[in-house]
């Protein structure tokens, strides 16, 4: 059976989970087989910088971290469901990738 694998990624885990639940509800409402949302490992981007611009004096460091949360939802391939998913209002900070699998 053909299915669409939808990968969601974003900075805020609550927003990513909300979009994943919305996609799952659309699939269940139309009677298509849905599996997920499956959480994937969180990617952590870390940057450490020296606070003082010239390096003189005491060394103080600032540590910055950005976390990217990911979810996967598999939806049975149906034209009507895919059109509804395309029309779904998604926040700007959530990235969606749709892949068709055999």
Domain boundaries, the chain: 3-49+60-101
Please count the other Cβ atoms lying within 10 Å of the Cβ belonging to residue 14.
Answer: 8
pLDDT of residue 55: 66
Residue 37, preceding peptide bond in cis (omega within 30° of 0): yes
Locate 85 and state its tokens.
């998913």
CATH architecture of residue range(s) 3-49+60-101:
2-Layer Sandwich (3.30)
pLDDT of residue 5: 92
pLDDT of residue 28: 87
Closest CA to 23 of 41, 11, 35: 35
pLDDT of residue 52: 75
Along the 102 residues of the chain, how does pLDDT read in single tens digits?
A: 788 999 999 999 999 999 999 999 988 888 888 888 999 999 999 998 888 777 677 778 889 999 999 999 999 888 888 888 888 888 889 999 999 888
Contact 8/95 with Cβ under 8 angstroms?
Answer: yes
């Amino acid at each position: 059976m053909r299915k669409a694998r939808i990968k969601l990624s974003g900075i805020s885990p609550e927003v990513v989970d909300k979009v994943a639940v919305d996609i799952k509800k659309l699939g269940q409402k139309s009677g298509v087989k849905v599996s997920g949302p499956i959480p994937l490992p969180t990617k952590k981007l870390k940057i450490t910088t020296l606070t003082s611009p010239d390096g003189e004096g005491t060394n103080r460091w600032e540590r910055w971290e950005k976390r990217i949360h990911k979810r996967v939802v598999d939806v049975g391939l149906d034209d009507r469901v895919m059109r509804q998913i395309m029309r779904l209002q998604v926040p700007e900070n959530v990235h969606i990738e749709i892949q068709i699998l055999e």
